[in-house]
Structure 1
Amino acid sequence: MFKQRNFGPLSRAAAASFATLIAVPTWAQDVGQGSIEALEEIVVTGTNIRGTAPIGNAIQTVGAEEIAASGKATVAELLRALPVNFAGGVAQADNNRGGQDGSSTGANLTGGSGVNLRGLGALSTLVLVDGRRVATSGQFGDFVDVANIPAAAIERIEILQDGASAVYGSDAVGGVVNFILKRNFEGVQTSARVGTLTEGGGDEFQASIVGGHGWSSGRAVIGYEYNDRARVTAADRDLKGDFSSKGGVNWPLYTNRVGSAANIFQGAASYLNPVAYTVPQGAGTGLTVGQLTPAAGGIGNTSNPWAGWDILPEMQRHSVFVTFDQDLASGITTQGSLRYTRREGNYHTGYVDLVGSVPTTNPNYIAGVTNNFSVLVDDFVTQRDVSVDSFGGDLGVTFDIGGDWKLDVTGSYSREDQKRESQLERDANIDDFLTGAGGGIVSAPNSVTCSLMGLNSSNIGAIAAPTAQQAFCAGLNYETFNPYSTDPLSAQVLNQLIGYENLEFDSWVRQGSIKADGTVIDLPGGPLKLALGVDYRTEHIDGELNFNYRSIAPVQLPYGETERDVKSAFAEFAVPIFGDANSMPGLRALDLSLAVRHEDSQGLGDFTSTDPKFGLRYKPIDSLTFHGSYGTSFHAPPMRFAYDGPQPVPGGNAILYTTGTYTAPCGTTLVEHSAPNGQGVCTFSAMVVSGGAGPVLKPEEADTWTAGLEFLPESVPGLMLSANYFNLQIDNRLVRITSGALGGILANYFATGSSPYASNLLFYPDDALVQSLYNDPRFVGLVGPGTTLQPSQIQAVIYATQTNLASLKMDGLDLGASYGFDTGAGKFEVFASGTLLLSYEIQAAPGARYDDKLGKYESTGNPVKLKTKQGLSYRRGPFSAIATVNYTDSYECVSGCYVPDANGAPVLNTTPVKIDDWITLDLQFNYTFDQTGNGLLSGAGVGLSVLNATNEEPPFIDTGRYVTGNAPESYDAANAVISGRAVALTVTKSF
C-alpha cells in the first residue's frame, strides 16, 4: 500500500499539493460508529478501478483544509492561482469588457468561470463533480462554470494533468478536474468571511454552515453557502483608454471621437474619422454653422470609453448541498448527492454612444455641414442583469457480487438555466422589410434612424412623395431625437434609442452508467484488477430570445435546440508485476495499466472514437517512484459549434457588416481600404460571419505521453522532489474566434502577412459570395455607424466562427519541491511548484510549417513559458503563517501591438515589445483556539489573508484592442488581474 508523506497543510495550500504528486488511495476516516462499507474504497480521478491509484499519471490534490487556508473565497479564485491553470480563454477574474469569453457581454452569459489546464482552453478540460459530468455553460456550451460550486461543499479537488478519454470519453484532452463533495463529516462547522479591495470596490461577505452525522449504517452531510460581492468600477482602477502616462497611445483622441456634446464630421460619421465641428452646450435648436466650434486637429469631443463600466459586477450567490450514503441490505449500499446554486449579478455597461446622420426632415438639421454626427447618451448608465440556476444530483447503488467484485449502477442529472437581460442601442432592424424604389425587398430603418427622421403622421403629408423608409418611420409616431442638444432626453426618446435583449439559455446533461470492478486473479505482485462497463448520456441545449434592439416591435423566438446521445463502453486493467510479496533489489514495485473506451454519438455533431491508454509505475527503491503514460484523447465539437441557425444576439450566429470598425495600415495591399482619415488610420468595410461554424468541424484528436518521478528520501526526512514531463500533439485543433480577438488577429496578419487563422480571413471577396451572405437567414445588416453598402462595396469577409487548425504541439515540465524542518521554535516548510512549457507550436494547415507561439502575445491567448508558486510556511502551536510568491514569466508582443509615433498617433510595432513578468505576494495568518474545551472560543479559528500584498499592478501592454465600443485595455487579462490588493478576515467555529 502506498503511503502519503505528511507535509504542512499551509504549504500544501500554497503549492496546491505540487503539480506532480502521484495519486494515492484515499482512505476514509471513521465518523464515530457511522462508518459504512462504501467508505472503505474510493475511486480516485483517472481510473475506473476503486481502491487503486491511476497508474502512470500525475494527480494534483487540493483538500478542504488547503482550500480554507488558501485565502481565496471561491473555487474559481483558487483554481486561477494554480500554475497549471491558465486564465486565458474563458472567464477572466476581472474586466467585464473582456470579450465574449471574459464577460456577460458576449458568449459567457452570466460571467461564469471555466478551467483552462495547460493553456489549451476550457473546452479541452473536462470538469466533473464526484466523477459525473456537469452541464455546460455559456452561449456555446463550451465550458463548465465552476463559480456555481460552493467551496464549503468540497472535500477535495483532484486534477489529472493528462489526456483521459480512455477513462472519461470526449473533452478530456488537456486534463480532468474532479470536485469531490464532502461525505465523511461529523458535527457542525460555521464560517464567516469579510473582505475588500484596498483600491476601492469589491467588498465581499461569505458565510457557510455545514453539518454532518453518521450512524451505524450510513451518514449524511448538508450545507449552505452565501456569497455577496460588491461591484468594482473602471473608475476605481483609473481605466480611461488614455495610456500616454504609461508610454502608450491616447486612444480616445483617435478611436473614441464622441462626447456629451455632439461632433459633426468632415465626411462619414465614424469613431475615428476627422471631426469638422463640435456643437455648443444647450438646447441645440436652430443652430447655424457660425455657432459651431471648428475642431482643432480634426479631433473634436472625446470621452472615456470606460466611463460607467464595471470591471467586476455586483454578484450574489446562494448554494445548498446534500450528500448521503446508506446501507440498504447486506452487500447493497446506496449513495447520492444534491446541489443547487442561485447566482445573480448586475453589471454597469457604460453609456450608449450614437453615430449617425441627421436628415433634412429633422427640424434640427444644420444647413452647410454634413450633419454626420457622434454623441454620447450619458443620461443614464446602461445595465445588464444576469442570473443562473444550477442544479446537480446523482444516485447510485453498489452491489457486492462475489469476492471483492462490486457492481455500480449510477444515474446523474445536471442543469444550468442561464438568463441575461441587457440594455442595448437599437441600431438594427432585422424584422421589418419594405419594398424599395426598384421593387426589391429591403430592410426597414432601425429605431435610431426613425428617431432622427423627425416624421410622424401629422407632418408626413408635407412630403409630396415620401420614400418607403420615410412612410414607415412616420407611422411609428416617434418623438424627434435632437442629437445636438445637451439637455436631458425624454423617457420616450430614450426608449426609442435604447432597447433590450432578454436571453434564456438552458443546458442539461443526463448520464447513466453500469460498472463492475474487482480482482480477476492474484498474481505474485498482487491482485490483477479489472473494471468494465457501459455509459449512456444525453446532452441538450436550448433557449428563448426576446428583444427589440434589432427590431421595432418586440421579437420572441427560440434560440435553437440541440441534442446528442452518446453511448460508451469501457474496460481497464491494473496489473501488478512486482509488489511487496515478490519484490527484489531494484524492483520494489512495477505496475502496468491498460484502459480503452469506445464512444459513439448521434445527434448534432456525430462522432465515433476509440481511445486507449497505457500506464507504468516503477519503484526501484521505496523512496523513488518513476511513472509514465501514453494515450489518445479527443474532443468532439460542442453542439453549439455545429449549430449555425440564426441567433441575432451579441456573439450569436449572425452575419453583419461594419464600415468603420476594423482598421489596417494605410500602405498595405493585403486589403482594399478607405483613404487615410488624416491621422494615419485606414478602415475597411468587413462582413463578419459569427457564431456556429456548422457541421464541417472535425473532432479534436490528441496523442499524449508523460514521464515523471517522485523522490522522498528517507535520509532527508521532510524533503520531496517531483517532476513530470508531458508531450502532446493535438490534430484538428478546435478554436473559436471571438469578436474580442479579431482586432489582434487582424493586426498580426497585416503586420506579418500570415496568420494561423488565414483561412478565416477573406479579402477582395467575390461579389457572388457576398450576395449569398446578404441572402442568408442569419444576415442582420449594418451594425454600427455608416451607410448601407452593396455587395460590391464589401472589402473583406471574416469568419469569426469555430474552426479546425491543423495541429498544435507542446511539451513541458511540472515541477515541485518541498522541505519541512523543525527548529524547536516552530515548524518551517519551504515549497515551490510550477509549470515550465518548453514548446507551444501551431500549424495552420496540413503541410504548413509550425509557428512558435510560446510566450508570444496574441489576443487568442497563447501561454507564457513559466508560472510558479513558491514560499515559506511556519507553524507553532495554534499559530500558523504562510507567505507565497506567485510568478508569471515575461513574454513579448512580436506584432500586433501599438506604440505612439513622434506625434502620438498609434502605429503597429515593428520590433518586439516586452511584457514584463508579474510577481505578487500573498500572506495568510491563522490562529486556532482550543478545540477540546467548552468555552465560547472552543473550536473557533480566525484567519487573515492579504492577496497581492504589495499591490502590484499588472504589466502594461497596448494592443489597441476593443471589445464593446472603442475600449482599449492596458493589460493582458489572460495573465494578470487589475483588482489589486485584497484583504479578508475569516472566522470559523466548529460544534
Structure 2
Amino acid sequence: MFKQRTFGPLSRAAAASFATLIAAPVLAQDVGQGTIEALEEIVVTGTNIRGAAPIGNAIQTVGAEEIAASGKATVAELLRALPTNFAGGVAQADNNRGGQDGTSAGANLTGGSGVNLRGLGALSTLVLVDGRRVATSGQFGDFVDVANIPAAAIDRIEILQDGASAVYGSDAVGGVVNFILKRNFEGVQTTARYGTLTEGGGDEFQASIVGGTSWSSGRAVIGYEFNDRARVTAADRDIDGNYADEGGVNWQNYTSRVGGAANLFGPGAFSYISPVLYTVPQGSGSGLTAAQLAPATGGVGNTSNPWAGWDILPEMQRHSLFVTFDQDIASGITTNGSLRYTRREGNYHTGYVDLLGSVPATNPNFIAGVTNNFSVLVDDFITQRDTTVDSFGGDLGVTFDIGGDWKLDVHGSYSRENQKRESQLERDANIDDFLAGPGGGQVSAPNSVVCSLMGLNSSNIGAIAAPTAQQAFCAGLNYETFNPYSTDPLSAQVLSQLVGYENLEFDSWVRQGSVKADGTVVDLPGGPLKLAIGVDYRTEHIDGELDFNYRSIDPVRLPYGATERDVKSAFAEFAVPIFGDANSLPGLRALDLSLAVRHEDSQGLGDFTSTDPKFGLRYKPIESLNIHGSYGSSFHAPPMRFAYDGPQPVPGGNAILYNSAYTAPCTTGMVELNPANSQGICTLNTLVVSGGAGPVLKPEEADTWTVGFEFLPESVPGLLLSANYFNLQIDNRLVRITAGQLSGILANYFATGRSPYAGNITFFPDDAMVQSLYDDPRFVGLVGPGMTLQPNQIGAVIYATQTNLASLKMDGLDLGASYGFDTGIGEFEVFANGTLLLSYELQSTPGARYEDKLGKYEVMGNPVKLKSKQGLSYRRGSFGAIATVNYTDSYECVSGCYVPNAVGAPVLNTAPVKIDEWITLDLQFNYSFDQASGFLNGTSLGLSVLNATNEEPPFIDTGRLVSGNAPEPYDAANAIISNRAVALTVTKSF
C-alpha cells in the first residue's frame, strides 16, 4: 500500500483514490484513526486473505463520500458513469421498447441495472455484497440488479478489473464489483435530495436516514432509503421517429403506416412497410363504399408517431431497509451479519396499440370492392406495464480464533429476487385453442382480434348455411363487433377483446455457505507467509409463472420452467513475501508473490467443472513506485435460463415462429426473397427459433494477464501516476441474440457477407429440417400479420438464442493521473483517468479470421476505444467544488445502418457513418457547516449539475426496418438522453 502524504483532506483522498485507479475525486473529510484500526482485518476484494490487498492487481475504490459528491442519486447511475463500465451496463437503457426478447431492456423485467466491466457484458461481471453472491435478475437471470442496493447502505464499492475465478469461481471473467455495507458508523445521518431534468420529466426525490452505535463488545448500523422518480416520456425529448432534419430517415413513413383513421393495403401478405392503397375518412366508418376511400399518395397513407405514449424512463419508486451488526460472543468468537430488503415499483407507458388485420365479409362494415386489409391505431388509451421487485439479502458469519493469528470463518448467506411484471398487450395470437384441421389434424383457432372482426355471434351464425370451424368458434364467444374503420371511441367491451394482459413472475434465489481458515504459515525474512483454504457450496434457482390472455381466448396460467444447479468449490491461496521492510535491498524495497487456485464443480442444469489458477506479483524498487502483474484463468458458466429450452409460450420465451418482417437488399443472392414492394423493399420468409439454446452451450473460458504501476514521486508531492495494461482471450464466448437484434445482424451480413453470428443463420434450409422445427413442441406458427407458410416456403432459419462464439481477444490500458497542490487561496487538484482499448476482436468459429469490432457500432453492442474523466477540484475551508469532463470516443457504423436515399427511403449505408464523440461537463458544489453552532452544526449542502452544457447524445439512426419497431435517434449503450440534471442535497449529522 502507499504511504499517505501529509496534505489536506482533499489531497489525501485524491492520492488514495488514484493509487487504486479511482474514477472521480472526492470531497472528503478526515477518516478517524478508530475507523482505520477497525478495518485493518477486513478481506479486500480479490483475495481470501485478511488484512492484505490482492497481490498483482490494483483495486478501484469508490467511497461513501465520493458517492455523495458524485451528484448521482443511485448506485446504478454512479457505476454507469465509470470509464471502465463500457456499453452502458445492462438494461436501464433509456427506453423500454421491444418485448421480452426484443431488446435487453425488454428481458429486464423490472427496469433493473447491471454492470459491464471491460465491455464484456453483465454476464461476465461478478457482483457481490460484502463478498457474498446475489440473486440474479431479468428473464434470463443474466445480471445482478444493482438498482436494489441503496446508496445510503454503502461504505464503499471495490472494483477489481481482472479475472478472478481463482478466488470467486464462475462469472468473474471481466472483473468483480463488491459492495461493502456500512458497519463502523456512529450517530445519525439524514439526507434529502431533490433533482430534476431541465428538459422535462424525471423529477426525483430521495431521502435516507442511517443510525449507528457501538458498545464494548459490538456495533450495529440500521438505515432506510426512499427514492421516487417521475417518468421521462419520448415527447419530453421530442423523439417521434422522424429524423429527416438530422440527416436520418422519416421512419413514420416506412414503419408506422398506421393512424387513427385506417389504411387499406393491397392483396396478399402485408405489413407496416407495405404500400397503402387507400385511407379511410374520419367518422363512424359504417356503410362505406370504395368510392368514399381516398387513394394514398406514394403508398404511405396515414402515419403516426411510433413513440407516442411511450416512456424513455419509467416512473419508479423504491423503499430500502438495511441492518448490519458485529458482536463478540465469547473470547475468541465473534459473529457478524446483515439484512437488507428493497421493494421497487415501476409504471411504464408503452404506447398505443396498432393493429393489422383483415375485415371479413361477415363484418357489417366490410367495404365491397377492396381487399379490406387494414392498419389502424387504437388511440383510445395508452397501454401500461406495472413492475414490482422484492429484493432480499441476508448473511450470518461466525469467526473463531484457532491459534496464533489463524481464524476460522463459517459463513452463510441467502439472496432472493421476486420480480413481477403486468403488461397490456394486443390479443393477436392464439396458441391455446385448437380446431380440427384438414386430414384429421389440428390447427390454431382464431385469435381474439380476428374474432372481434368477424362480426358473428350465437344470434347471427345461423344465417350462414355451412359455417367454417373458425366462424363457429368465434360466434360462440358472442363478441361485440369491432369496426376498424370508425374513428369514434371504442366501447370497453371491444377494448377488452383487442387488448389483453400478460402477468409474469420470476423467483430467483441463491444460498451460499462457506468455511474458510486463514493465517500465517511461517514467518519469512520478508514477512509472514499467509495461507487461506476453504470450501464453498451454493445452490442457484430460478422459476416463474405466467398468466396471460393476449395469446389465448380464456386466461391461461402455467409455470415458466424451474431451473436449479448445485455448485461445490474448494480453494486455496498463498501470499508469499520475498522481500519486505526487514530484508529490503537497494532497488528491492518489496517483492510479494501470490498463488490462488479454485476448483468448482456444478451439477444440475448446465453441468460444468473448472479449475482456475491465478498468479500475482508486486514489486517495489523504490518506496514511491509500485509495479504489479498477474496471470490467471477464469470462466463463466452459461446462465441456467440460457440452457433451458422447454416450451414457453411468451415473447422471449422458448418458441419457434415465422413471419416476413425481416428485409434484405433486393439484389442479394444469399437468400430467396419475396417480390419487392413499390418502394423497392424486399422481405424474406423467416423461421425464428428464440429462447434458450439447450445443453449445447459451453462455459466461457478466459486467460488474462495484466501489468501496471503506481508512482508517487517524493520529489513532486501530491503527484500520482498510474497505468495498467490488460490482455485477455475468451474462448467459447457466450452471447445472447435477441429477436430485436436480428434485423441489425442480417443487415451487416448482407452488407459484408460476413458475421460472427453466421452460425446462427441458415439460408435455403432443407425442407426436412424446417419440418422438424414445425413439429417441435415449441412451434407457435405465424406471429403478426401474413400468410400461412408451408416448410418449403421458408427462406431462412435464424436462431435468436444464446450461442458460443469461438473466441474474443482484447487488450487495453487503464490510465490515471492526479496532482494536488495547496495555495494561499485553497487546495486544488487536477485529475484524469480512463480506459483505452487497443483491440476488440471476435472469431465466429475455430480457424475463422478474427473480425475487428472495436469502435464499430452493431446492435449486439461493441465498446468504444476510449472513455475517460478529467477535471479540476477545489477546496477552501468548508467549501468544495469539482468540475468533471466526461469523454466517450467517436466510433462508426461501417455497414448495416440505414440512411435515406434520394427520395428519403431507408437504404443500407455503403460508406461508414460516423457517430460523434460525446463530451459532457458535470459540476458539484459542497458547503459544510461544521464550524457553525446550533442546528446548522453537522449540516452540509450539495448542488450538482450533470451535463451542465446540456449536450445531446450523438445522433445515429439505428435503422430498424422491422414492422412496428421504432428506431432510436441515439445509441443507448454509449449515451443517455436525460440531458441536464440539477439536484440539491441536504445532509444533517447528529
Superposition TM-score tier, normalisation by shorter sequence = over 0.9
Superimposed CA distance per residue, residues 355-394 of structure 1 (whole angstroms, 9 cap, x where no aligned partner): 0111111111111111100000000000000010000000
Would the alpha carbon gap of residues 45 and 4 (structure 1) be closer, same or farther in structure 2, given more than 3 Å must change? farther
TM-score by structure 2 length? 0.97
1:40 is displaced (CA, Å) by 4.0
Q: How far does the alpha carbon of each residue in 1:612-652 deviate from its partner, in whole angstroms, 9 at most, with x for none?
A: 00000000000001000000000000000000012222212
Using the alignment, how far apart are the partners of 2:414 and 2:358 within structure 1?
A: 53
Give 1:321-360 correspondences, 5 Å limit.
321-360=322-361
1:856 and 2:821 matched: no
Q: Which residue of 2 aligns with 1:163?
A: 163
Question: Could you tell me which residue of structure 1 aligns to residue 589 of structure 2?
Answer: 588
> What amino acid maps onto 1:502 in structure 2?
N
Structure 1 residues 671-705: Cα deviation after superposition (integer angstroms, max 9, x where no partner): 21111111121111211111100000000000000
Q: Which residue of 1 aligns with 2:262?
A: 262
- One-letter amino acid of the structure 2 residue matched with residue 990 of structure 1: S
Distance 1:281 1:604 in 2: 57
Q: Name the CA distance, whole Å, in 1 between partners of 2:19 and 2:960.
A: 34
Alignment-derived partner of residue 983 in structure 1: 982
1:538·1:563 contact (CA, 8 Å) conserved in 2?
Answer: yes
Q: Identify which range, 314-323 or 434-443, moves more after superposition.
A: 434-443
Q: Secondary structure at the match of 1:155?
A: strand
Q: Is 457-466 or 324-333 further displaced after alignment? A: 457-466
Q: Does structure 2 retain, via aligned residues, the 8 Å contact 1:809–1:841?
A: yes
For 1:820, the aligned partner's letter is: G
Q: Give the counterpart letter for 1:881 in structure 2.
A: A
Q: What is the CA–CA distance in structure 1 between the aligned matches of 2:647 and 2:99, rounded to whole Å?
A: 21
Other-structure match for 1:494: 495
Name the counterpart of 1:576: 577
CA distance in 2, matches of 1:455, 1:6: 87
Q: Any conservation in 1 of the 2:11–2:820 contact (CA below 8 Å)?
A: no
Residue 552 of structure 1 aligns to a residue whose secondary structure is coil
- Confirm or deny: 8 A CA contact 2:102 2:738 kept in the other structure: no
Q: Say if 2:166 is the partner of 1:148.
A: no
The answer (yes or no) to whether the contact 2:22–2:61 under 8 Å persists in 1 is no
Partner in structure 1 of residue 393 of structure 2: 392
Task: Determine the structure 2 residue equivalent to 1:631.
Answer: 632
Once residues 337 and 46 of structure 1 are traced to their aligned partners in structure 2, the CA distance between those partners, rounded to angstroms, is 21
Quote the offset at 1:98 in angstroms. 6.7
Contact 2:286 2:486 in 1 (8 A): yes
Query: In the superposition, relative to structure 1, how do residues 16 and 133 fare at CA in structure 2: closer, same or farther (>3 Å)?
Result: farther
Q: Secondary structure at the match of 2:152?
A: helix
Report how far residue 667 of structure 1 moved: 1.1
Q: Displacement of 1:12 after TM fit? A: 9.6
Q: Which residue of 1 aligns with 2:668?
A: 668
Aligned to 2:599: 598
Q: Is the 8 A contact 2:387 2:421 kept in 1?
A: yes
Q: CA deviation at 1:804?
A: 0.1
Q: In structure 2, what is the equivalent of residue 195 of structure 1?
A: 195
Partner AA of 1:649 in structure 2: V
Question: Following TM superposition, by how much is the alpha carbon of 1:103 offset from its aligned partner in structure 2, in angstroms?
Answer: 7.2
Q: Deviations over 1:206-252 (max 9, x none)?
A: 00000000111000000000000000000000001111000111111
| Cα distance between partner residues in 2 of 1:921 and 1:84 | 18
- For 1:20-419, what aligned pairs fall within 5 Å after superposition? 20-21=20-21, 39-88=39-88, 90-97=90-97, 106-267=106-267, 268-419=269-420
Output the CA distance in 2 between the equivalents of 1:203 and 1:750. 44
1:869 aligns with 2:869: yes
**Aligned partners of 1:708, 1:182: CA distance in 2, in Å?**
31
Any residues of structure 2 matched to 1:889-900 within 5 Å, and which?
889-900=889-900
Give the secondary structure class of the aligned counterpart of 2:452: helix
**Structure 2 contact 136–417 (Cα < 8 Å) conserved:** yes
Please list the CA deviations of residues 896-929 of structure 1 after superposition, one character each: whole Å capped at 9, or x if unmatched.
Answer: 1111111111110001111000000000011000
Indicate the SS of the match to 1:17.
Answer: helix
1:105 Cα deviation from its structure 2 partner: 6.0
CA distance in 2 between counterparts of 1:96 and 1:964 reads 17
Contact 1:636 1:698 (C-alpha < 8 Å) held by counterparts: yes
Instruction: Provide closer, same or farther for how the CA distance between residues 577 and 904 of structure 1 changes in structure 2, counting only shifts above 3 A.
Output: same
Contact preservation (8 Å) 1:532, 1:570 = yes
SS of corresponding position for 1:95:
coil
The equivalent of 2:26 in structure 1 is none
Q: How far apart are the structure 2 equivalents of 1:125 and 1:859?
A: 20
Question: After superposition, where does 1:951-970 map in structure 2 within 5 Å?
Answer: 951-961=950-960, 965-970=964-969
The 5-angstrom pairing of residues 887-926 of structure 1 reads 887-926=887-926
Task: Say which is worse superposed, 257-266 or 431-440, in terms of deviation.
Answer: 431-440
CA–CA distance in structure 1, aligned partners of residues 76 and 5 of structure 2? 28
Distance in 2, matches of 1:70 and 1:645, equals: 45
> Following TM superposition, by how much is the alpha carbon of 1:96 offset from its aligned partner in structure 2, in angstroms?
2.0
- Distance of 1:88 and 1:682 partners within structure 2: 34
Q: Residue type of the partner of 1:283? A: S
TM-score normalised by L of structure 1: 0.97
Q: Which residue of 2 aligns with 1:755?
A: 755
CA distance, structure 2, for counterparts of residue 15 and residue 291 of structure 1:
77
Q: Is the 8 A contact 2:88 2:975 kept in 1?
A: no
Partner of 1:420, secondary structure, is strand
- Is the partner of 1:741 in helix, strand or coil? helix
What's the CA shift for 1:405? Answer: 0.2
Q: 1:642 to 1:141 in 2, by over 3 A?
A: same
**1:469 maps to 2:470:** yes
8 Å CA contact 2:898, 2:957 repeated in 1: yes
Is the Cα–Cα contact under 8 Å of residues 656 and 781 in structure 1 kept in the other structure? yes
1:599 counterpart SS class: strand
Return the offset for 1:94. Answer: 1.4
Paired residue secondary structure (1:792): helix
Cα distance in 1 for residues equivalent to 2:341 and 2:417: 10
Q: Matched residue of 1:438: which SS? A: helix
Q: Say if 2:243 and 2:249, in contact at 8 Å, map to a contact too.
A: yes
Per the TM alignment, residue 435 of structure 1 is displaced from its structure 2 partner at its CA by 0.5
Q: CA deviation at 1:774?
A: 1.8
Deviation at 1:762, TM superposition (A): 1.3
Q: C-alpha displacement at 1:7, in angstroms?
A: 7.8
Separation in structure 2 between the aligned mates of residue 720 and residue 736 of structure 1, nearest angstrom: 41
SS in 1 for 2:118: coil
Q: In structure 2, what is the Cα distance between the partners aligned to 1:38 and 1:62? A: 19
User: In structure 1, what is the Cα distance between the partners aligned to 2:32 and 2:884?
Assistant: 34
How many Å apart are 1:277 and its aligned residue?
Answer: 0.2
In 2, Cα distance between the equivalents of 1:112 and 1:186? Answer: 32
Give me the whole-angstrom Cα distance separating, in 2, the residues matched to 1:168 and 1:537: 12
What secondary structure is seen at the aligned counterpart in 2 of 1:135? coil
Distance 2:302 2:949 in 1: 38
Distance 1:19 1:705, change over 3 A: farther
SS of alignment partner, residue 254 of structure 2:
helix
- 1:88–1:861: 8 Å Cα contact kept in structure 2? no
* 1:567-716 aligned within 5 A: 567-659=568-660, 661-716=661-716
State whether residues 92 and 974 of structure 1, in contact with CA within 8 Å, keep that contact through their aligned partners in structure 2: no
SS at match of 2:245: helix
1:17 deviation in Å? 3.2
Any conservation in 1 of the 2:427–2:552 contact (CA below 8 Å)? Answer: yes
Shift of 1:87: 3.3
Q: Matched residues in 2 for 1:690 and 1:7: separation? A: 59
Looking at structure 1, the residues matched to 68 and 700 of structure 2 have their Cα atoms a distance apart, in angstroms, of: 37
Q: Deviations over 1:154-179 (max 9, x none)?
A: 00000000000000000000000000
Q: Is 2:89–2:113's contact at 8 Å kept on the other side of the alignment?
A: no
Q: Deviations over 1:557-579 (max 9, x none)?
A: 00110000000000000000000
Residues 634, 701 of structure 2: 8 Å contact kept: yes
Displacement of 1:451 = 0.7
The 2-side partners of 1:19 and 1:809 are apart by: 28
Quote the Cα distance in structure 1 between the aligned partners of 2:102 and 2:442.
39
Segments of 4+ in structure 1 off by > 3 A?
A: 1-23, 28-32, 35-40, 98-105
Distance 1:519 1:888 in 2: 46
Contact 1:15 1:832 in 2 (8 A): no
Quick one: distance in 1 between partners of 2:226 and 2:22?
Answer: 34
Partner SS for 2:768: helix
